[in-house]
Amino acid sequence: MTERKALIVGTGLGGLATALRLRRRGYEVEMVEMYKQAGGRLNQLVADGFTFDMAPTFFSMSYHFEEFVRDAGIEMPFRFVKIDPLYRVNFRGSDRWFTIYRDLDKLSRQFEDIEPGFRDRMERFLASAGVLFDDIEKGVLSKNFRSLPDFLFQMTRLPLKHVPKVLRSVWSEMSRYFTSYEVRVIFSLVSFFLGATPFDTPAVYSILSYTEMVHDGYHNVEGGMYRIVEGLLREADKAGIKIHYNVTVSGFDGSGKRNRAFIDTEGRRWEADIFVVNADAAMFRGRVLRRPAFSDDRLDRMQWTLAPFTMYLGVKGKMENIHHHNYFLGDSDYESYSRGIFRNRVSLDKPYYYVNANAIFNPQSAPPGCENIFILVPVPDLRFKPDWSDRDRIADAVIRDLSVRTGHNVEANLMARVVLDPVDWQNMFGLYRGSGLGLGHRMKQVGGFRPSNRDEVFSNVWYTGASTVPGTGLPMVIISSRLTVQRIDNEIDTV
């Protein structure tokens, strides 16, 4: 029997995981990638002797990677590094640093002076989030939904006690347990992992606090996050999976219920029996498949995650006041800033930002005695701020602020500097309007409301990645690849 051929568009984590799962099932697999190297947002940048993880710098729910390698029939091609403490937080204008530990005794000592009874409050909050997590993971995250009614039926099977968390925000949920402004701000930062803010993120996502504090914690990878991609590429090469780079799919050849080929910008045809799209599931439907329901006008009315403004700095000298993960928050009103940042209604002269110092865990990523600093500033996407001619001014302001708050003159000790704005991210990785993590996670864009992982028209086209089910984040993308391949297994006879 001749092998069925699968073409996968995109070599992000979802695409690579899907490729290896399908190869294990006997498919001939070929991949095309628009960028010069694999990984999508899980990529690597090298500049002047420094090596940087370009975007994801940690992950949780590591057991989904373990499920993946078992399903793909490979050995784990990288090593996890447990992160503890999890991160540090500084508010502008204060010399106090809050260190976030998984150990509740250590954590309580950070907050008891500003939140009396902190340990008891945190235990109650985490207990509630843990029950929700168990029900959501089993009933929603791990399931395929073949239709909106199917999703709504599954939701009715969740315990009614969770309904209020669907209706209120993460910030409101935090305010039910904590009174301290600082505590509420710090433990609502998990919303930014979804590319959103705690004021517009449903409280069901308080489960992220449970995953970081109790469940699986955070992990890095020995040698840097790009080792994940390098390891999967080695396995793909051993399996005979072909990958073609600098290929941008722009059209298709299909009719009725069957797609015959995708066509790239050079006019080349990429034929296969089945197709899996690891590009953005909403944008691809609109711009490549020309679906009216996913036109740019309609996509612009959807909720998209915040865009990334990223800086990669090689710094001479060791910066003593930073951890692997650090959040530098402003002195402005948190709610006003959060609500305004999406639509470019706040100044970026004093932004909130995240700093990763990868050399702490992976010293080979920087020359001896130096730091490689990755800075992420969540900013408006290109719908609301299309002009980034001020990017150097914004970057300079962040560098000055970081110098003051760490006591290390970053500007005077710069050995490497690369700045990427949302236009760069859009052009390099095909991110819609520069949105960092794809579609947002308001209730009308989750589960059965999210773009399906099987195409509505072509029966031999499926999707995987952040903008289909279950959502954004490395473990969610690994789950996405499993759900997509499950559908292919179960539905291939209907192609």
Confidence of residue 138 (pLDDT cuts 50, 70, 90): confident
DSSP state of 452: P
Q: Is the pLDDT of residue 1 over 70?
A: no
Question: Residue 404: which residues within 8 A CB-CB, separation 6 or more?
Answer: none
CATH of span 103-216: 1.10.405
Class of residue 349 by CB neighbours under 10 A (exposed 0-12, middle 13-18, buried 19+): exposed
Cβ count near 353 (within 10 Å): 22
Q: Contact at 8 Å (CB) between 28 and 245?
A: no
Domains 5-40+62-76+225-302+441-494 and 103-216 share a fold: no
User: Each residue of 248-264: b (16+ CB within 10 Å) or e?
Assistant: ebeebebeeeebebbbb
Confidence of residue 2 (pLDDT cuts 50, 70, 90): low
DSSP state of 178: -
Higher per-residue pLDDT: 154 or 1: 154
Q: Contact at 8 Å (CB) between 397 and 349?
A: yes
Task: Read off the pLDDT of residues 218-276 as tens digits, 9 standing for 90 and up.
Answer: 999 999 999 999 999 999 999 999 999 999 999 999 999 999 999 999 999 999 999 99
Class of residue 178 by CB neighbours under 10 A (exposed 0-12, middle 13-18, buried 19+): buried
Distance CA 70, CA 76 (A): 9
| CATH 3.50.50.60, applies to 5-40+62-76+225-302+441-494 | yes
Task: Read off the pLDDT of residues 303-355 as tens digits, 9 standing for 90 and up.
Answer: 999 999 999 999 999 998 899 999 999 877 889 998 898 888 888 888 999 99
The alpha-helical segments, DSSP class H, found in 374-494 are 391-406, 422-429, 474-491
Confidence of residue 125 (pLDDT cuts 50, 70, 90): very high
Task: Read off the pLDDT of residues 360-375 as tens digits, 9 standing for 90 and up.
Answer: 999 999 999 999 999 9
Q: Please name the residue that has the structure tokens 């990785």.
A: 429
Q: What is the pLDDT of residue 376?
A: 97
Lowest mean pLDDT across 31-40, 194-203, 474-483: 194-203
Distance CA 382, CA 390 (A): 14
Q: What is the residue-averaged pLDDT of the chain? A: 95
Distance CA 315, CA 365 (A): 12
Mean pLDDT across 459-464: 99
Of residues 384, 392, 3, 329, the one with CA closest to residue 184: 329
Per domain, the residue ranges of the chain are: 5-40+62-76+225-302+441-494, 103-216
The CA–CA distances, whole Å, from 268 to 32, 250, 281 equal 12, 10, 22
Task: Read off the pLDDT of residues 437-449 as tens digits, 9 standing for 90 and up.
Answer: 999 998 899 999 9
Lowest mean pLDDT across 18-22, 141-145, 467-471: 141-145
Mean pLDDT across 137-159: 88
Task: Specify the 3-state DSSP secondary structure of 388.
Answer: coil
